Amino acid sequence: MIPSAAAEYAGLRDTSLLLLRVEGLSTMLDGQTIVDSVSLEVRRGEVLGIVGANGSGKTTLLRTIAGLLDPESGSVQIDSLPGSELSYRDRARMMAYMPQQAEQHPFIALETVLMGRYPHLGRFELEGADDREMAYVAMGRTGTAEFANRRLDTLSGGERQRVVLARVLVQQADLLLMDEPTASLDLHHQILTMDIVREEADGRKAGVIVIMHDLSLAARFCDRLLVLYRGHKIAEGTPWEVLTPENLRAAFNIEGLVEPDPVTGKPHVLVLGSKDSNHGELAGSGRTVHLICGAGSGRRLMYQLRVSGYTVTAGVLGIGDSDREAAERLGVKYVGASPFSEINDSQHSEHIELIRASDHIVLCPMAMGMNNLRNIEAAVAAGSLIVVESPDREISDFTDGKGHELRGDLVRRNGQVPESSVLFELARLASR
């Protein structure tokens, strides 16, 4: 079940927590508009993830918010103060920026981390014991204490990245701007870094904007996502609201499946392929397969068929049916129905039309009840039919035997194949 966005993020929508407001921000580079009229808000305790394809304007947007680039138009307000009117020191106290690539220089790692304390020191003031303690604590959190006395330019890219993260932490800013903080890291340190991001938001009530490439990782750790495409904001909302097949196509030019992660329950994105792939090389190119399914009997086949390049449609599926949920995530056309209701004449006719428009029809081993019996009757009207055998051999029948009788006739006429052989059977039929 997809969680209610309103319920999950009600506290974050309190305007009293507003930390950053960006309105109509546009930025030009070399005479080209890279960011085009983007607006966004970040609240205290909130992590906003910015996602988009390469060249979509993510880094330019973040650098403009950070004051490193001048906007062509629009405004940035930090804690209700105009960003353009803040001094460098005031901005650095309020906002910490982590670049995409950690710099290389001859300073030792500890000195690099202590640079994060400079906005809080007087003009000629040196770091004190408290500052050094904060630095050591931050390096402990980021797993960098062991090379505190090593020069930054002797460290690996991932190690430098974590040193810069420690510097951001000791800056103690209310707003953290992070440009791909996990890009150079192994899986362990990716999770460590994002755990720290969440700790800063949940514990210190910092607001965070983080640019991410890994959509599943972004969905796991971010409260909201903003999608950029060619400088424009095309979607914004909770991960469940934003990570849809339609948005994946529009922003990334990919076909994708979005399902709940079995551990976290957050959206997990599985890329099926590029929208521009040469589907002429795929087995299913140009052919439509219609699935008569329900109660989860067709989910796996939907995915397999889509990966193989087939256009997939499905029969009548009621609200709450796991096959219907899979169809919606995969962009599979189906006939909708109310839950636990019998299929009416209009739905049956629509189903028959989908069957007639298909090259192949597949009957999945679904349980049979009076509410879906007409799905089986529709299969009788199909020409060429592939019947998938049940892995449990026995299919539940709650129709006083009518369902078993219809399915039995279909098996006698067409035979049946295991689910693992459906793609092979489709290829065989196509070669005839």
Q: Are residues 307 and 371 in the same domain?
A: yes
Quote the pLDDT of residue 4: 41
Domain CATH number, residue 317: 3.40.50.850
pLDDT in tens, 7-16: 444 444 455 6
Say if residue 101's pLDDT is above 90.
no
Q: Are residues 239 and 100 in the same domain?
A: yes
Quote the pLDDT of residue 404: 87
Give the pLDDT mean for 206-224: 96
Quote the pLDDT of residue 364: 92
Quote the pLDDT of residue 5: 40
Quote the pLDDT of residue 424: 82
Domain CATH number, residue 217: 3.40.50.300
| Domain-ending residue, one of 272, 287, 313 | 272
Q: Are residues 193 and 83 in the same domain?
A: yes
In this prediction, residue 163 has a pLDDT band, given cuts at 50, 70 and 90, of very high
Give the pLDDT mean for 90-99: 92
- Provide the greatest CA pair distance for the chain: 91
pTM of the full structure:
0.70
In this prediction, residue 279 has a pLDDT band, given cuts at 50, 70 and 90, of very low
Q: Are residues 174 and 30 in the same domain?
A: yes
Say if residue 310's pLDDT is above 50.
yes
Q: Are residues 242 and 382 in the same domain?
A: no
What percentage of the chain has pLDDT greater than the value 90? 58
Say if residue 271's pLDDT is above 80.
no
Give the number of domains in the chain.
2
Q: Are residues 247 and 383 in the same domain?
A: no
Q: Are residues 251 and 332 in the same domain?
A: no
Say if residue 369's pLDDT is above 90.
no
Q: Are residues 425 and 338 in the same domain?
A: yes
Task: Select from 165, 240, 188 the least CA-distant residue to 9.
Answer: 240
Say if residue 304's pLDDT is above 80.
yes
Q: Are residues 368 and 423 in the same domain?
A: yes
| Domain-ending residue, one of 250, 272, 294 | 272
Residue type, 334: Y
Give the pLDDT mean for 237-248: 92
Q: Are residues 117 and 172 in the same domain?
A: yes
Quote the pLDDT of residue 276: 57
Q: Are residues 340 and 389 in the same domain?
A: yes
Give the pLDDT mean for 111-130: 88
Say if residue 412's pLDDT is above 50.
yes
Domain range for residue 158? 5-272
Q: Are residues 209 and 356 in the same domain?
A: no
Quote the pLDDT of residue 273: 64
Q: Average pLDDT, whole number, for the chain?
A: 88
| Domain-ending residue, one of 257, 272, 287 | 272
